[in-house]
A and B are shown apart, each in its own frame.
Chain A
Amino acid sequence: EIVMTQSPATLSVSPGERATLSCRASQSVSSNLAWYQQKPAQAPRLLMFDASTRATGIPARFSGSGSGTNFTLTISSLQSEDFAVYYCQQYNVWPPLTFGGGTKVEIK
């Protein structure tokens, strides 16, 4: 099983600032990585797939990078609606499909 580790667990950022979230895989997942955003009492929403491709309707301030075992999700200028929990997920080797533990982006 590929273990996904996200850091930090919580990120405190001021509106308008940049946020950088990390995701590490226990073994290479190539570029087979997705990112999701989840707000309270809502289902997760796909942000990014194939490590760096934005899903439909996702603003350009969200960008993804990385391959192999180290990945980054960057939000260039945080808006109020971006405060949420973010999860990474690998789909290179399955079963199982595995998620990271999440990073909560909160208002500083």
Chain B
Amino acid sequence: EVQLLESGGGLVQPGGSLRLSCAASGFTLRIYAMSWVRQAPGKGLEWVSSIISGGGTTYHADSVKGRFTISRDTSRNTLYLQMDNLRAEDTAVYYCARHRDGFLNWFDPWGQGTLVTVSS
């Protein structure tokens, strides 16, 4: 069974850092493109970052570019999101999700999400 399990969320002060993890099971992470999507409280879905298969080219939304970094550890079959210089507007549930293949298309499946709260 394909599963994604996020961890690493929590409360952090503005300007702080946090690293989210997404442990994948039931499939080989490096073969698929993977993404992070977030949802601020009471709001809609916002794409954050993606990494495609093969060479692992990465993409980031303008709102997080230069502050967030997506990466993967193929030996651990785990996806990461390093979040630096966090702002109040980064407060959200962060979901990791897999794509159909090595490129960006639809998201399926999704993890259960991990809550990040940026507040002093």
Contact = CB atoms under 8 A, between A and B. Distances in A.
Interface of A: 32, 34, 36, 38, 43-46, 49, 55, 87, 89, 91, 94-102
Determine which residue in B46, B106, B109 has the highest number of CB atoms from chain A within 10 A of its CB, and name it: B106
Interface of B is mostly: strand
B45 A91 contact: no
Contact of A44 (B46, B95, B100): B95
Nearest to A32: B105
A46 B45 contact: no
3 nearest A-B residue pairs (beta carbon): A34-B106, A46-B108, A43-B110
A32 B104 CA distance: 11
A87 B118 CA distance: 26
A44 B113 CA distance: 10
Contacts, number: 60
Interface of B: 35, 44-47, 50, 59-62, 95, 100, 104-113
Given A97-B35, A97-B50, A46 B106 contact: yes
Contacts of A96: 47, 59, 61-62
Given A34-B107, A87-B44, A95 B112 contact: no
A94 B106 CA distance: 12
B104 A97 contact: yes
Nearest to A97: B47
